A and B are shown apart, each in its own frame.
Chain A
Amino acid sequence: MIVSNPLTVRFTLNGREQSIEVEPSAVLVDILREKFGLTGTKITCDQAVCGACTVLVDGRPTASCSEFAFMVEGRSVTTIEGLGSPDTLHPIQAAFIEAGALQCGFCTPGMILLLDALLRQNPDPDEATLRHWLSSSVCRCTGYQIIIDAAVLAAARYRNETRSDARS
Chain B
Amino acid sequence: MSGLSERERAAELVVDHPLGPAARRLAVHRSRKRIAAFRLHVPSTVAEAATLPAEHSDARVIAGGIDVINRMKAGEMIEDAVFVGRLESLRQIEVSQNALHIGAGCTHHELAASSIAVVALPALCSTWGTIAQQRIRFKGTVGGNLMAKEYSYEGAPILAAAGAELDFVTAGGTRTISCLDYFTTQPPDTGWLLGAIRVPCGHELRLIYDRSFKGVAGVVLAVRLAGGLVKSVRAAVTWACRSLHCADLPVAPLASLRSLAGNLASAYAAALSEPITDYIASGSYRRRIIEVHLRRALERAGGEQIA
Contacts and interface: CB of A to CB of B under 8 A. Distances in A.
Contact of A46 (B30, B65, B85, B135): B30
A2 B39 contact: yes
B69 A2 contact: no
A157 interface: no
Interface residues of B, number: 32
B266 to A, nearest CB: 34
A166 interface: no
Contacts of A30: 32
Contacts of B83: 70-71
Given A3-B40, A25-B36, A66 B138 contact: no
Interface residues of A, number: 31
Contacts of A61: 134-135, 138
A136 B134 contact: yes
Interface string A127-168: 000001101100000000000000000000000000000000
A13 interface: no
Contacts of A132: 134
Interface of B: 30-32, 35-44, 48-49, 52, 62, 65-66, 69-70, 72-73, 81, 83, 85, 133-136, 138-139
A160 B2 CA distance: 69
Q: Is the interface of B mostly helix, strand, loop or mixed?
A: mixed
A63 B138 CA distance: 10
Contacts of A7: 40
Contact of B43 (A1, A54, A60, A65): A1
17 contacts: A1-B41, A1-B43, A2-B40, A5-B39, A5-B40, A24-B38, A30-B32, A46-B30, A47-B73, A60-B138, A62-B139, A66-B69, A67-B69, A67-B139, A68-B65, A71-B85, A135-B133
Nearest to A30: B32
Contacts, number: 85
A114 interface: yes
Interface string A46-59: 11100100100000
Contacts of A124: none
B81 A24 contact: yes
A105 to B, nearest CB: 20
A129 B266 CA distance: 36
B272 to A, nearest CB: 29
A61 B136 CA distance: 9
Given A3-B41, A51-B135, A65 B65 contact: no
Contacts of B44: 1
A68 B69 contact: yes
Nearest to B135: A136
Contacts of B134: 61, 114, 132-133, 135-136
A27 interface: yes
A133 B62 CA distance: 25
Nearest to B139: A62
B70 A47 contact: yes
